[in-house]
């Protein structure tokens, strides 16, 4: 019976990430309100149904008292979440410090924060020690909940030490590690004081995954150049032990968006927004308020566009949703002030008594309102300076239905998408033994998706304000009708219009199952 039960029950998967998919807000001594967390990692992993999943992560709040810890653990258990409690000082050094002040900017090629680089270097060792300590605490919680046969899937730059900690506890645990940010060129990685320790700790995993082939290649060459290990087509070899390295591009749960835009509450929002912004073209930006998202650069481009196109002043509105993030980190505080200053200046210069050109919100929107906004948008601006992956373009397309909106997309992102074709080849070849039909089919879909997206957006260098301003003018002036779109799709040049019915049909079918199933099947 037991054997039969096991055959029918799903494979258990312990997802370990710094952030849980829900964030807790304290409402009383033993009372908690849980809200869905924001971020690419959470959206990508939502809706895993193929596995019996438990999620281990930092509680996201400081809970010093036992009563609070016990009650929060119980509330989270209902969501299959297991909290790791980290005290405030540790969070400051581990999360604000090492993760977000050192690893994050370096992995996104931004270098160390300019003004306090001396302080950053001086506190490096204490932050790194805190990082290792926090990773060990995650490992201890995993140990408590691990059952034989579980797959443990560690996520992101916060937990590069976790594979090592887990394998030291139990060498039989199957461990995967996946990075949601870029992995930079080895030339950048080798500037890290802890460069070797980080690589060695990650290599303890059985499988290491990245969004793109490029990031995987950077990782392998860092191991070759810094650790002197051998890189093979399958991964990295150290004294006969192979750590497999592969690319697993991420997507969205597109059905969730396609279903949402049919809902009455979304249709109500659409009506409301159309009335509110009626007569004006709607441009949209949805970003976490992070320097990698290029919000100031985007605003400056919009300002230049307004300067050069007075006819458009009362005919267009830019809705910028900027979700606050890492608000305790000084660089993020500075960025918030900078963005507010630019928005204020532009609205002051180009606003009238009744309208302003930019509606800027420092908060996230509820899912239904967001889908409605995507649906009514004429021009979406996704202009990150660097991003592991960016799912906003996918979400925008998913919600456009028959509307023919235009996507202005950062070149950085499109080159990432183009690499999916190579990623497909790489992953398929490297797991030629025992890969399932379904995964291969999904990978094929994704290769098609890259072509569709590349062929359907206006590509810009986000640093080139003049070019982005010109692209905004071009996007707003395009007269869309089916003949134009068909003609553009037939040309060999990159057509500028993202046309949902034609170009994006295939690319929408790439979804988060590619990452989830692909990674775990390979592991």
Residues that bind ligand F6P in the complex, under the rule CB under 6 A = 19, 39-41, 156, 180-181, 325-326, 388
Strand partners, 14: 54, 152
Q: How far is the CB of 105 from ligand F6P (least distance, A)?
A: 13
**Token pair listed for 201:** 């700790």
Nearest distance from C-beta of residue 362 to ligand F6P, angstroms = 15
8-state DSSP, 59: -
- Chain mean position to CA 177: 16
Which structure tokens are listed for 398? 């998913």
Rounded least distance, CB 262 to ligand F6P, Å: 28
Q: Which is nearer to ligand F6P, 97 or 357 (CB)?
A: 97
| Residue 313 DSSP SS3 | coil
Least Å distance between CB 37 and ligand F6P?
7
Chain centroid to CA 521: how far?
22
Q: Which of 449, 451, 352 is nearest to 398 (CA)?
A: 449
What does the DSSP 8-state code read for residue 95? Answer: I
Count of H helices and E strands in the chain?
23, 17
Closer of 182 and 405 to ligand F6P (Cβ): 182
If the CB atoms of residues 293 and 404 are measured against ligand F6P, the closer one turns out to be 293
Query: Which token pair is 494?
Result: 């990159």
290 vs 325: CA distance, rounded Å: 7
The DSSP annotation for 470-516 comes to HHHHHHHH----HHHHHHHHHSSS--S---TTTTHHHHHT-BHHHHH
Helix (H) / strand (E) containing 277: helix 264-277
39 vs 296, beta carbon nearer ligand F6P: 39
Cα gap 457→405, rounded to integer Å:
10
User: Can you say how many angstroms the Cα of residue 369 is from the centroid of all Cα atoms in its chain?
Assistant: 20
Measured from the CB atom, is 181 or 500 closer to ligand F6P? 181
| Minimum distance from residue 323 beta carbon to ligand F6P (Å) | 9
CB of 352 to ligand F6P, least distance (A): 36
Minimum distance from CB of 130 to ligand F6P (Å)?
16
**378 vs 387, beta carbon nearer ligand F6P:** 387
Nearer to ligand F6P, 40 or 462 (CB): 40
- Of 177 and 302, the one with the shorter C-beta distance to ligand F6P is 177
Shortest gap between Cβ of 333 and ligand F6P (angstroms)?
A: 15
Q: What's phi and psi for 187, nearest 5 deg?
A: -65, -35
What number of other Cβ atoms are within 10 A of residue 479's Cβ? 5
Q: Which is nearer to ligand F6P, 42 or 372 (CB)?
A: 42
Given the complex with ligand F6P, which of 96 and 435 has the nearer CB atom?
A: 96
- What CA–CA distance (Å, rounded) separates 150 from 14? 7
Minimal distance, residue 515 CB to ligand F6P, in Å: 13
Comparing CA positions, the residue from 357, 390, 347, 368 lying closest to residue 108 is 390
Q: What is the dihedral of CA 222, 225, 229, 230, to 10 degrees?
A: 90
CB of 158 to ligand F6P, least distance (A): 7
Q: Which structure tokens are listed for 186?
A: 């080895």
Q: Which of 364/417 has CB closer to ligand F6P?
A: 364
Shortest CB 384 distance to ligand F6P, Å: 11
Chain CA centroid to CA 185, Å: 19
Structure tokens at 203: 């290599």
């Amino acid at each position: 019976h037991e054997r039969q039960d096991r055959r029918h029950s799903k494979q258990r998967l312990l997802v370990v990430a710094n952030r849980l998919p829900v964030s807790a807000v304290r409402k009383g001594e033993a009372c908690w309100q849980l809200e869905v967390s924001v971020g690419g990692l959470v959206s990508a992993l939502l809706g895993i149904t193929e596995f019996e999943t438990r999620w281990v992560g930092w509680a996201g709040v400081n809970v010093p008292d036992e009563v609070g810890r016990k009650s929060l653990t119980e509330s989270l258990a209902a969501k299959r979440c297991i909290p790791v409690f980290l005290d405030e000082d540790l969070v400051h050094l581990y999360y604000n410090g090492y993760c977000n002040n050192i690893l994050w900017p370096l992995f996104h090629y931004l270098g160390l924060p300019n003004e306090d680089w001396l302080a950053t270097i001086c506190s490096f060792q204490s932050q790194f020690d805190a990082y290792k300590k926090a990773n060990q605490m995650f490992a201890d919680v995993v140990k408590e909940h691990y059952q034989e046969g579980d797959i443990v899937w560690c996520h992101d730059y916060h937990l590069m030490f976790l594979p090592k900690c887990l394998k030291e506890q139990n060498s039989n645990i199957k461990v995967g590690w996946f990075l949601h940010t870029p992995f930079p060129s080895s030339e950048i990685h080798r500037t890290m004081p802890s460069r070797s320790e980080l690589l060695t700790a990650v290599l303890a995993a059985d499988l290491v995954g990245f969004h793109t082939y490029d990031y995987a290649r950077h990782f392998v060459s860092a191991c070759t150049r810094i650790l002197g290990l051998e890189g093979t087509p399958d991964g990295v070899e150290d004294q006969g032990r192979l750590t497999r390295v592969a690319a697993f591009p991420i997507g969205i749960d597109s059905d969730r968006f396609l279903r949402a835009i049919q809902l009455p509450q979304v249709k109500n929002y659409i009506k409301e927004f159309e009335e509110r912004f009626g007569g004006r073209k709607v441009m949209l930006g949805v970003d976490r308020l992070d320097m990698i998202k290029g919000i100031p650069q985007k605003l400056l481009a919009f300002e230049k566009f307004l300067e050069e196109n007075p006819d458009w002043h009362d005919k267009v509105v830019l809705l910028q949703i900027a979700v606050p993030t890492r608000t305790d980190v000084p660089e993020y505080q500075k960025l918030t002030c900078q963005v507010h200053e630019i928005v204020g200046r532009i609205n002051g210069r180009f606003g009238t008594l009744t309208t302003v050109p930019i509606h800027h919100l420092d908060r996230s929107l509820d899912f239904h309102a967001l889908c409605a906004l995507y649906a009514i948008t004429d021009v979406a601006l996704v202009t990150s300076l660097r991003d592991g992956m960016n799912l906003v373009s996918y979400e925008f397309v998913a919600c456009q239905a028959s509307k023919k909106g235009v996507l202005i997309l950062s070149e950085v992102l499109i080159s990432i998408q183009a690499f999916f074709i190579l990623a497909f080849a790489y992953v398929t070849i490297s797991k030629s033994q025992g890969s399932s039909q379904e995964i291969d089919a999904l990978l094929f879909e994704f290769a098609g998706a890259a072509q569709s997206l590349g062929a359907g957006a206006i590509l810009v260098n986000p640093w080139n304000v003049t070019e982005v301003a010109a692209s905004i003018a071009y996007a707003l002036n395009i007269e869309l009708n089916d003949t134009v779109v068909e003609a553009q799709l037939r040309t060999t040049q990159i057509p500028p219009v993202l046309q949902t019915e034609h170009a994006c049909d295939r690319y929408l079918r790439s979804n988060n199952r590619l990452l989830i199933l692909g990674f775990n099947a390979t592991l």
